[in-house]
Every structure is written in C-alpha cells, then in structure tokens.
Amino acid sequence: MEVSVITDEIDSDLERAVAVMSECGVRAAELRQIWDKNIVDAPRDYWERAREILARQNIKVVGIASPFYKCDLPGVDGEPTGRMHNAEVRGMDEQAQVLDRAIEAAQFFDTNLVRVFTFWRRGKLTPDVEEAIVDAFRLPASIASSAGIVLGIENEGACYIGTGEQLGDIVRRIAADSVRGIWDPGNALLEGEEPFPRGYNAAGAVITPVHVKDYTISTGSLRWAVVGEGDVDYRGQIDALRKTGYDGYLSLETHYDGDGSKADASRLCLQRLIDMAGNRELK
C-alpha cells in the first residue's frame, strides 16, 4: 500500500507541489489541475513541462483526475453543482472530446486510470436516472477498453453517485472490465453514509487509488481536519484494505488548510497517512 497525492491540493504550481511531495518521500501523483489549467484543457507544453518536473523527482502518475461527465444528463441544463478545478464547462455533446483528451493525457503520462463522474445531481437517483447513467457509460467503456484504459467512477456528492452503496451498484450494472470504482470515504460521509465498514463493503469494486480526506461535523458544522483526526475511521479503513491484500494507492485530497497554508496542511496529512499506511520508510 502506497501514498499518492492529487497535486493541486498542495499547490496548483506543480513544481511547488512536487517539492512538498519529495520532502515527504511520496513518489506517486494524480494530476487534476496543473498551474492555471485543468489537465484536459492544458496545452501540450504544459504536459511536457509537467512530465519533466515529475521525472526529475522520480514521481510516477497513477491517475488522470478528469472532469468527464461533470455535466448534465441530456435534456437537463444548469450551472455546475460542484467544483470544476479550472476545467471548461462543457455539455453532454462535448463529453466525447473530454474523454479523448483524458485518455490522451493518461497515455502521455503512462498511466491507465482516468477518473470520471456520474452527472450533476439535480434530484433523487431514480431508476430512470440510474438507467441513463448505465447507458451513458456503454460507449465510453468500449473506447476505454480499446485504449487499455480503466475509467474509475468516483463517488461524489455533487453527482448522482455519492455513496459506497450507489458506487457498487452502478459499477455492477455497467458490468464492464474497463469501468471500476474509486472509493472516497470522506465523500460518502458527506452523503450521510457510514463510510466504514458499511460504505466500503457496499462499494466492492474498488480500484486504486482510494481517496483520502477527513473532516468533523461534531460541532454541528463541517470542518475539514487532519487525516485521522476527523469523523472518518481511516485506521479501520486502512486496516481492512491491508487485510484484503490491497497493494494500491491511498491518494491524499487534502481539503484541510490548517492555518491557511495548504502546503503545511498537506505535509501534516501526508505524515499521518504514511504512518497509518505503515510506510514509515517513506518518511
């Protein structure tokens, strides 16, 4: 089990983010926003510069955190209900280009994982909506398979699939080898689900990475926290992963900003996560 980071959670300036990662001994990254561009909108020279920076520190890319299907289902139109991380807002008719670009980025950075979503949530996850999501993944699943790419659906509360139970169900219904689930316990807790063990057991089809963020709502309002100090039972979650022989990534998505410095907050969260993962040789 290894630790990785969504780099722009430390700093959108990739060079500064990589410096913190190297200081903490972390050698794996997910790419979402680099400098002022989302990874799918960044020009080729951004990619080339990023690859050079990562190579200098021997950091490998373990996933492209794309905004694919961060849009409305056909027949619905509205403003985004979640963060876009500097990605251009695009409708359903432009999602094929988003997927093509995300796959191109994955191949450029030598990873086989593209993170994807399940459309902006505009109401309840009805059987009709679930069927529309399943149908919408049929062609992307085929395209990904042909390219040697896995599409990892993340449970995300701004989209229809927000819990572990919903994630496991939709992945099973899509029933494609090229579509799996990216488990985010923090997002599940935000949706009112007990992330561990209930959400984790229901998610089932987890691939790497498992996303890690923590917060507390014990004061009556949400407050982001240092990993391991919030309401998500990450020690239990990580122990359970270890018992299954999980040898993938725990990918930090900091959110917590401490005294206002995301770099310092990420350093603290990384050290806690490394300790919990048992990778003390990384320190």
Mind listing the pLDDT tens digit for each residue in 192-234? 999 999 999 999 878 889 999 999 987 678 889 999 999 999 9
131 pLDDT exceeds 80?
yes
CA dihedral of 26, 31, 33, 39, whole degrees rounded to 10: 160
The pTM of the full predicted model, rounded to 2 decimals, is 0.95
Closest to 270 (Cα-Cα) out of 13, 35, 22, 85: 22
Q: What element of type H or E holds 134? A: helix 127-136
Residue 205 CA to residue 171 CA, distance in Å, equals 7
Single-letter code of the amino acid located at 145: S
Whichever domain contains 63, its CATH number is 3.20.20.150
**Banded pLDDT at 267 (limits 50, 70, 90):** very high
- Dmax (CA) for the chain in angstroms is 52
- Confidence band, pLDDT 50/70/90 cuts, at residue 282: very low
Rg value, the chain, Cα: 18
Q: Considering its fold, how many domains does the chain have in total?
A: 1
Query: Residues of 143-158 as b/e, b for ≥16 C-beta within 10 angstroms?
Result: bbeebebbbbbbbbbb
Q: How far apart are CA 159 and CA 125, in angstroms?
A: 10
pLDDT at res. 212:
97
Evaluated on CA atoms 94, 179, 233, 246, the torsion sign reads negative
Of 278, 252, 276, 248, residue with least CA distance to 265: 252
For residue 150, the enclosing domain spans 2-282
Peptide bond preceding 209: is omega within 30 degrees of 0, i.e. cis? yes
Lowest-confidence segment of 138-142, 218-222, 268-272 by average pLDDT: 218-222
Based on the number of CB atoms within 10 Å of its own CB, is 132 exposed (0-12), middle (13-18) or buried (19 or more)?
middle
pLDDT average, residue stretch 274-280: 81
User: Model confidence at 155, in pLDDT bands (50, 70, 90)?
Assistant: very high
Among 87, 111, 95, which residue's Cα sits nearest to residue 33? 87
DSSP track, 9-24: GT-SSHHHHHHHHHHH
φ, ψ of residue 30 to 5 degrees: the values are -105, 140
- Take residue 275 and report the two structure tokens written for it: 């300790």
Q: Which residues of 66-96 are buried (b: 16+ CB within 10 A; e: fewer)?
A: bbbbbbbbeeeeeeeeeeebbbeebebeebe
CA distance 165 to 144: 24
- Nearest CA to 256 among 235, 227, 232? 227
Angle at 88 between CA 83 and CA 89, to 5 degrees: 70
